Amino acid sequence: MTFSGSGFTPLASASVMLDDATILSGLTVNPDGTLAGSFLLPSTPPVTGDFFFVTAGDSSGRSAFNVVHIIAPCLRGDVNRSGVINASDAPALVSALLAVSVDPDTFCVADVNGDGQLNGLDIEAFENVLP
């Protein structure tokens, strides 16, 4: 997970908090007032729907925050987003194939054969990925 921000006091010391826990400390704001870096999220694997408040603050009391929403990696065939591929995904797959349009996350899990289209070929591919 990367973060970046600007408007901090140049060369001030800074830290980053994830929710209420300090995850990075001893940082120094860049001369142009920007601050950037990266950290690992504590939830492994991250669960869809999780979210974290990321707060970056400098020693002069300037801070910025953002909310990180977790979207799980696309598991093709897990159309109902339960974390596993099984027969329960079939109705969701059919709904996605019949829908006029779907959101990008649904498109990814419903495009089971990964060809960039939602059609009957994905049903065949779905049958092949069923355990």
Q: Contact positions toward Ca ion, by CB under 5 A?
A: 111, 113, 115, 117, 122
Q: Which tokens belong to 44?
A: 């492994």
- Residue 32: closest CA among 59, 16, 61, 11: 11
Task: Give whichever of 105 and 115 is closer to Ca ion, judged by the CB atom.
Answer: 115
Residue 126: CB minimum distance to Ca ion, A: 10
Residue 128: CB minimum distance to Ca ion, A: 12
Task: Give whichever of 89 and 122 is closer to Ca ion, judged by the CB atom.
Answer: 122
* Contact residues for 22 (Cβ-Cβ < 8 A; gap 6+): 15, 16
Task: Give whichever of 82 and 117 is closer to Ca ion, judged by the CB atom.
Answer: 117
SS3 label, residue 99: coil
Stated length of the chain: 131
Residue 105: CB minimum distance to Ca ion, A: 15
